[in-house]
A = this chain, B = another copy of it.
Amino acid sequence: MNKPDTVPQITLGPLSASEKVYLSGTLHPIRVPLRRIATAEGAVTVYDSSGPYTDPGARIDIAAGLAPVRIPFARDRGEAETYPARDVTAADNGFAEGARLVPAFPRRPEPLRATAGRAITQLAYARAGIITPEMEFAAIRENEGRTAAHTRDGEPFGAEIPDLATPDFVRAEIAAGRAIIPANINHPELEPMVIGRAFKVKVNANIGNSAITSSMEEEVEKMVWAIRWGADTVMDLSTGRNIHNIRDWILRNAPVPIGTVPLYQALEKVGGVAEDLSWEIYRDTLIEQAEQGVDYFTIHAGLRREMIGLTARRVTGIVSRGGSIMAKWCLHHGRESFLYERFEEICDICRAYDVSFSLGDGLRPGSIADANDAAQFAELRTLGELAQVAWAKDCQVMIEGPGHVPMHKIKANMDEQLKHCHEAPFYTLGPLTTDIAPGYDHITSAIGAAMIGWFGTAMLCYVTPKEHLGLPDRDDVKTGVVTYKLAAHAADLAKGHPGAQARDDALSRARFAFRWEDQFNLGLDPDTARAFHDETMPKAAHKEAQFCSMCGPKFCSMKISQDIREAAEAEAGTCPNGLTPAAE
């Protein structure tokens, strides 16, 4: 791995004991990446969101960007066409100049958009019965190389999870509004993935520009680092200067869907004064970002003026940035939110590029005291209404959720969301199950995330240890992603996802057989597991040891248990039910 001291570089190379493999499509000429982990009892194949960066055969040059792996499906069909892009203005980059201006990405292809009257969204195709390359790609990924279901005995709470995700099943779930494939037609570098409760629970990681940007590599590396550990999508929440150019560098190098909150950039364009926001500036920002290839927009259109008063007696008021900006605008102007009033026009823009909606919960609770209150659920019902508006425009939609919620109130969030948002995928931030653990909120929230993932949430937005306290560094991002991957996996197991338990079983067999390297390599973070082991047992020979430092050789229950198995089998002969003979 390239990790010099001063110049940030892109982390390359496979994870421990892993190789990249590609499966082919049968409907479309696609190559679907998976990760194959070598073990003593054979390879275990797992989902892989890390992109070409973990493929030693890929040539990485961030100034060139990733190869365009997506088939220009709509274009081939004559339903999308290029056009002269909107001009980049100084405001797009916060009026950064000279040395403070991040250079523009070297290449600027003309953007695509739907030809007049055409619906080119995944939803439109799904409804028309068309299986797109994106759908087949996502379906193959989901199966992780399986051809049948592994052990599955979960409780899916109504999610209808098939033994194998077929391309047509993906299509049907999208057509029903129960799943989305965020895939802007201007993001050809994307390896498509599906978000929906019939599929594996996904994880989003947030990144953002630094106050002092030292290089484009640094910004791209944040995304590469997050996906290396398993982030399925990345939100670029940059503020301040250089937003436009940084986003271009990220998108041209991103194999995962990139989400944004366009309001943040719009606010920068009016100097940070919420009252000065206007529909025209916001609309222009949507087009700017859609042309660049942003795959999903968080839009807080459900926060209506009449709801603001519902927050006045809250312990923590409005904690969503987007929500508070819009609330401030509404109060100042004494008007309804332009995001709500212009929502159909917003849909028309998203429809032209297939930008998915992530309808933001501007009124999410920011404390245990405010969970599941009138403000939160009033907005949720409005988000459900907006989802139907978007669907009528063939736009893909997911719904954002909380926040801070004690365990006994989590299920109601999912139930209300399913009911009022008509099964549109739910995308939650945690939720945090207590307020009292600053410094440990990745854990506080992983509890809630695992539970709400089990109940049906399709994607979990990670929380890092720095939540509420400061900017996450590289270690925090990794900790946050791995924590959320384990929460998502706990949810997959509990839902009875057909492939989930295979990896647990392989790791547990390795553990029981003292195959230490296999145990590390099958884990979510082989490097940390190995380092922890080596702190007390550093020698290579210890990797073969029939014990570990916790109990030492005499006490090892795993070792004794193996002896017992041999003795029991000898005693029981071929007893098929595993019972020892009853007689003495």
Contact = CB atoms under 8 A, between A and B. Distances in A.
B487 A558 contact: no
Interface of A: 151, 153-155, 239-240, 264, 267, 272, 274, 305-306, 308-313, 315-321, 323-325, 327-328, 331-332, 334, 366-369, 404, 406-408, 433-440, 442-444, 446-447, 450-451, 454, 465-466, 468-471, 473, 482-483, 485-487, 489-491, 493-496, 501, 503-505, 507-509, 511-512, 519-520, 522-525, 528-529, 531-533, 535-537, 548-552, 554-558, 560-565, 567-569, 571-572, 575, 578-580, 582, 584
Contact of A529 (B469, B486, B493, B537): B469
Contact of A436 (B153, B443, B522, B552): B522
Identical copies of this chain, number: 2
A569 B309 CA distance: 8
17 contacts: A239-B551, A239-B552, A309-B575, A309-B579, A317-B562, A321-B557, A324-B561, A325-B555, A366-B512, A406-B494, A407-B451, A407-B494, A447-B450, A466-B532, A470-B532, A470-B535, A471-B549
B446 A447 contact: yes
A493 B407 contact: yes
A120 to B, nearest CB: 34
B511 A571 contact: no
Given A434-B489, A524-B440, A368 B267 contact: no
Given A490-B407, A555-B264, A331 B154 contact: no
A332 B404 CA distance: 54
Given A317-B565, A436-B489, A450-B433, A310 B560 contact: no
Contacts of A554: 239, 267, 272
Contacts of A153: 408
Contacts of A508: 315-316, 366-369, 404, 435
B504 A564 contact: no
B434 A568 contact: no
B550 A470 contact: yes
Contact of A528 (B264, B316, B439, B558): B439
A9 to B, nearest CB: 23
A537 B468 CA distance: 13
A205 to B, nearest CB: 15
Contact of A563 (B328, B368, B505, B579): B328
Given A508-B366, A508-B369, A486 B321 contact: no
A332 B561 CA distance: 13
Contacts of A485: 437
Nearest to A239: B555
Contacts of A444: 486, 490
A232 B238 CA distance: 44
A369 B510 CA distance: 13
A266 B557 CA distance: 16
Given A369-B501, A511-B468, A578 B434 contact: no
A565 B509 CA distance: 57
Contact of A471 (B524, B536, B558): B536
A568 B443 CA distance: 35
Contacts of A531: 439
Tell which of A239, A306, A366, A440 has the most Cβ of chain B within 10 Å.
Answer: A440
Contacts of A536: 470-471
B267 A154 contact: no
A37 to B, nearest CB: 11
A486 B437 contact: yes
Nearest to A570: B331
B311 A564 contact: yes
A549 B451 CA distance: 30
Given A317-B512, A407-B450, A437-B489, 20 more contacts: A155-B408, A267-B554, A309-B571, A311-B561, A311-B578, A312-B564, A312-B572, A312-B578, A315-B509, A317-B562, A325-B557, A366-B511, A366-B512, A435-B505, A436-B504, A436-B522, A436-B523, A438-B520, A444-B486, A470-B532
